[in-house]
A and B are shown apart, each in its own frame.
Chain A
Amino acid sequence: DGSTVGRKRKSRWADEEPNPVVQLPDFMKDFAADLDPEVQALNLRLLEISRLLQSGMPLDDRPEGARSPSPEPIYDNMGIRINTREYRARERLNKERQEIISQLIRRNPAFKPPADYRPPKLQK
């Protein structure tokens, strides 16, 4: 059947049915935000990070050969090194956690951040 050559074949997928535009009452908006797949992905990552931070397991378990060079050591006034690998790994996770929480708040103003969340300081 040569008639179809060169013409775009119609996909077997049905057209995306346009979601019925229903104006949700205000009290439903929080609920709807939770259904957003991106919000769900953020929530999952947040749970994962929280679990890692609380697990007490080594956070940076890369073997010797797979690590990038360490920064210069920083010591506190007792002479104890502050920026250990573990400390830096924890800082990294904490930072990501704060960022995810900020995003969740932006998408859903009713989102209740954990008690230890501090909004990022605005740079002057």
Chain B
Amino acid sequence: PGVGLALAAPAAFPTKILCLTEVVSVDELRDDEEYLEILQDMREESGKFGSLVNVIIPRPTPNGELIPGVGKVFLEYTDVTGSTRAKAALHGRKFAGNIVTATYYPEDKFTMGDYGAVAVV
């Protein structure tokens, strides 16, 4: 069905990238073991809603410097159906006691590795 035309107004539409905020703390991400566990938990759960391409959890650099996007979790799906389902299921759910906020994230920014943008609600 793809005819090669881009959507006219991407901002108003769900994207394939789901951004979870208020999920993880910087301290948790510094710890290698915790980081891997969080990554695993994310992969397992988010894989239930669609075909997952990637899970990206930006980490603080070893020298303690904060980089944009730390504290966010990005779930990349092969299609919007996956991200839409995941948003419906994960938004408002608790992760390690935190109530998760799920928003769509601009695909172009994600592709360029820009994790600091304000997500599309």
B77 → chain A closest CB, angstroms: 12
Instruction: Count CB-based A-B contacts (< 8 Å).
Output: 55
B60 → chain A closest CB, angstroms: 19
CB of A37 within 8 A of CB of B38, answer no
- A44: chain B residues within 8 A (beta carbon): 13-14, 80
CB of A14 within 8 A of CB of B5, answer no
- B109: chain A residues within 8 A (beta carbon): none
In the assembly, what is the distance between CA of A13 and CA of B75, in Å? 15
Interface size on B, residues (CB 8 A): 25
CB of B94 within 8 A of CB of A14, answer yes
CB of B3 within 8 A of CB of A12, answer no
- B37: chain A residues within 8 A (beta carbon): 9, 12
In the assembly, what is the distance between CA of A44 and CA of B84, in Å? 11
Chain A, interface residues (CB within 8 Å), range: 20 to 34
A93 at the interface (CB under 8 A from B): yes
A38 at the interface (CB under 8 A from B): yes
CB of B1 within 8 A of CB of A41, answer no
Residue of A nearest to B46 (CB): A13
- A11: chain B residues within 8 A (beta carbon): 41, 44-45
Which A33-67 residues have a C-beta within 8 angstroms of B? 37-38, 40-41, 44, 48, 51-52, 57, 59-62
CB of A61 within 8 A of CB of B4, answer yes
Q: Which residues of A contact B (CB under 8 A)?
A: 9, 11-14, 16-17, 37-38, 40-41, 44, 48, 51-52, 57, 59-62, 89, 92-93, 96
